[in-house]
Chains A and B, each alone.
Chain A
């Protein structure tokens, strides 16, 4: 971890990862979405509506995954005070918020024809909504405090407090009775989803993951450059 704390080293690593991540993203998203939308079977109960699953499920996974990235970055920032860790958390948040929003929106659009409602306040839906608000809160704290160091510390504490929501999201469908069904893929006794549907789902999931890497690196670079710029401006003013 400490090795990547240096921006120059980060840039070198990012340069070598970027083309790979970008190609993986294009290939898996294109093939995954093609299979998901055109070349996979309809469901025995849900018919064609099942295709929403290929966008909904990976988005929900990514919402949680990116949250953990943000939380690890926040932990590193609080304990070891690496400036790059703060930047990583800040860069991850909007991407995670977007994935969570995508999961909520596709879920609602799927819920209406299948369940008969866009929304219910059950354990799963509510805890995912809480995750969305945690992302918004984290981003708002960055904006609300003038001093970046202080803003980052406050936002990092919020991110860590919100980690408790992750197991709640995951196990809400097992602990309580909910309208949302239990897990189909990440379960101990193996997936309950047919292999013809599982492969497109996993392709899209890899594509989302690669998208995250690409967007994450872009956003971190942007933030690093903005900071360089403000240092340069300050030097200019100081220099006269």
Chain B
């Protein structure tokens, strides 16, 4: 009787463990098979050309606002800036209110479509912020004009600057 109970427990342990591992394995495989693209929120400028996206097709574009590229039209409402992923860049035009965190050198996610001149006309602009939190003036200034989002993490992402704080 006691031995029978023990084997049944072992059996349950085996069934539940195998079930759980295969389920997690299968789900992760499906996610990787789908690839990052279909589950990603936005396209980066270099992906626009690579995919040959036509004008008028609605999509989200994300990347960094290129330093020095931002200007306002004379009407005071229409903004122009360049979104870059350091490999390619894309002219963007937007009429509306920009979020507080919008600034050159920082990430944005915009939604809209390319017009006939190849300019991305955005209907919304969202600001992305990076993983750095610090009081003003404590972060080292980046020397480079264009820091790729993934590389940017390692610029600041060392524990060394924490000591100075």
A binds B: yes
A-side interface residues toward B, CB under 8 Å? Answer: 41-46, 50, 53, 75, 78-81, 113-117, 120-123, 160-161, 163-164, 167-168, 175-179, 181-184, 187, 189-198
Q: Which residues of B contact A (CB under 8 A)?
A: 9, 12-13, 16, 19-20, 23-24, 27-28, 31, 36, 39-42, 44, 62, 97-102, 106, 109, 124-139, 153-154, 156-159, 162, 165
Kindly provide the distance from the CB of B73 to the nearest chain A CB, expressed in whole angstroms. 20
- Residues of chain A within 8 A of B129, CB atoms compared: 45-46, 114-115, 181
Min distance, Cβ B154 to any Cβ of chain A, angstroms: 7
Contact (Cβ within 8 A) A42 B135: yes
Residues of A within 8 A of B136 (CB): 41-44
Write out the residue numbers on chain A whose beta carbons fall within 8 Å of the beta carbon of B99: 113-116
Residues on A with C-beta less than 8 A from B153 are 182, 189, 192
B158 contact set on A, CB distance < 8 A: 189-190
Contact A123 B157, beta carbon cutoff 8 Å: no
Residues of chain A with a CB closer than 8 A to B20's CB: 75, 160, 163
Residue in A43, A176, A195 whose CB lies within 8 Å of B40: A176
* Cα–Cα distance between A181 and B126 once the two chains are bound (Å): 13
Q: How far is the CB of A123 from chain B (nearest CB, A)?
A: 6
Q: How far is it, in angstroms, between the C-alpha of A177 and the C-alpha of B59 when the chains are bound?
A: 14
How many residue pairs between the two chains, A and B, have CB atoms under 8 Å in the bound complex?
148
Tell whether, in the assembled complex, residue A163 and residue B159 are in contact, meaning their CB atoms are under 8 Å apart: no
CB-CB < 8 A to A178: which residues of B? Answer: 40-41
Complex contacts, B19 vs chain A, CB 8 Å:
160
A194 in complex: contacting residue of B9, B13, B127, B162, CB < 8 Å: B162
- Our pick among A50, A123, A184, A191 for the contact of B39 (Cβ within 8 Å) is A123
Q: Are A116 and B127 in contact (CB under 8 A)?
A: yes
B135/A194 in contact, CB under 8 A: yes
Q: A46 contacts B101, CB within 8 Å?
A: yes
Which of B101, B156, B157 contacts A114, CB < 8 Å? B101
Contact status of A192 and B157, CB under 8 A, knowing A53-B133, A176-B40: yes
Pick 9 A–B contacts, CB within 8 A, sort by A: A41-B135, A114-B101, A115-B126, A120-B109, A161-B23, A168-B31, A193-B132, A193-B134, A195-B162
Q: Is the CB of B131 within 8 A of A179?
A: no
**Given A44-B137, A189-B158: 11 more A-B contacts, CB < 8 Å:** A42-B135, A44-B134, A79-B16, A123-B39, A163-B20, A168-B27, A181-B128, A181-B130, A182-B153, A189-B153, A192-B153
User: Are the CB atoms of A184 and B131 closer together than 8 Å?
Assistant: yes
Q: Distance (Å) between the CB of B152 and the closest chain A CB?
A: 10
**A177 to B127 CA separation, bound complex (whole angstroms):** 14
- A182 near B131: Cβ-Cβ < 8 Å: yes
Does A197 contact B134, Cβ atoms closer than 8 Å?
yes
A82 to nearest B CB, angstroms?
11
Given contacts A80-B9, A122-B41, contact A184 B128 (CB under 8 A): no
B3 to chain A, nearest CB (A): 16
Q: Which of A120, A183, A187 contacts B126 (CB 8 A)?
A: A120
Q: Are B44 and A177 in contact (CB under 8 A)?
A: yes
Q: Which residues of B contact A42 (CB under 8 A)?
A: 135-136
State whether A192 touches B41 (Cβ < 8 A): no
CA A196 – CA B137 in complex, angstroms?
13
Min distance, Cβ A182 to any Cβ of chain B, angstroms = 5
Q: Report how far A168 CA is from B42 CA in the complex, Å.
A: 18
How many Å lie between the Cα of A163 and that of B99 in the bound state?
A: 36
Which residue of A79, A192, A196, A197 is within 8 Å of B131 (Cβ)?
Answer: A192
